[in-house]
Amino acid sequence: MTVGVAAIALSFGLAACGGRDPFDIGWIQTPDTALLYSLARPELNLPSAFDFHGGVARIVESPRSTGLWDVILDTQEDQLVFLLPEVLGISSEARIIQLPGLSFDDVREAPADTTAYTIDEPVPLAFGSVYVIRTRVGSDRFGFNCVFYAKMEVLDIDVQGGTLRFVHDTNPLCGDRDLIPPDDG
């Protein structure tokens, strides 16, 4: 018996006997906050980019950040905006859509129509909106490459100081548009 067939048989056996499904990663909501600094600030080496799949702020100038972010915070025309990789000429699957008038908890699923997402224009940031992000391609726990969906809501915008604080959460399941775990809905 091959290893793959044995693994599948074992997983079905565990599930049938009331054991834990080894492919169920047990997703629970884990909203967190992040702070980003605008690229327009004079200091270098401040976290200006964000990787929603990994849930980490990244320093754009760091070689270890290359290709590992979904958005960059910038200041344009006296407002803070997110720039996606395509805005900077970098090929990426990252996309974003603004959902005005909704709260973080209201957004239960990412919109299915990916043509409605912004890909290559600055996205102004504002209070009273939730933003849904389709991430760059990343690997899931099993090594499959895919996109992930996340949501974020602005908590604090300081245009003068060039900072943004927000709450975010990401679905760890490959390509799954749900933004709340199945047990919470």
| pLDDT reading at 18 higher than 80 | no
Distance CA 136, CA 83 (A): 13
| Cβ 177 vs Cβ 110: under 8 Å | yes
In contact, 34 and 22? CB cutoff 8 Å:
no
Q: Which residues contact 65 (CB under 8 A, 6 or more apart)?
A: 49, 58, 59
For tokens 């884990």, what's the residue? 30
Q: How far apart, in whole angstroms, are the C-alpha atoms of residue 52 and residue 143? A: 18
**pLDDT surpasses 80 at 74:** yes
Per residue in 111-158, pLDDT tens?
A: 999 899 999 999 999 998 999 999 999 999 889 999 999 999 999 999
Do 151 and 104 contact (CB within 8 A), yes or no?
A: yes
Entry pTM: 0.84
Instruction: Give the pLDDT of residue 4.
Output: 45
Give CA–CA dist 80/160, Å, rounded.
Answer: 10
The predicted-structure confidence for 110-121, as pLDDT tens digits, reads as follows 999 989 999 999
Residue 185 has pLDDT above 90, yes or no: no
Residue 12 is predicted with a pLDDT of 45
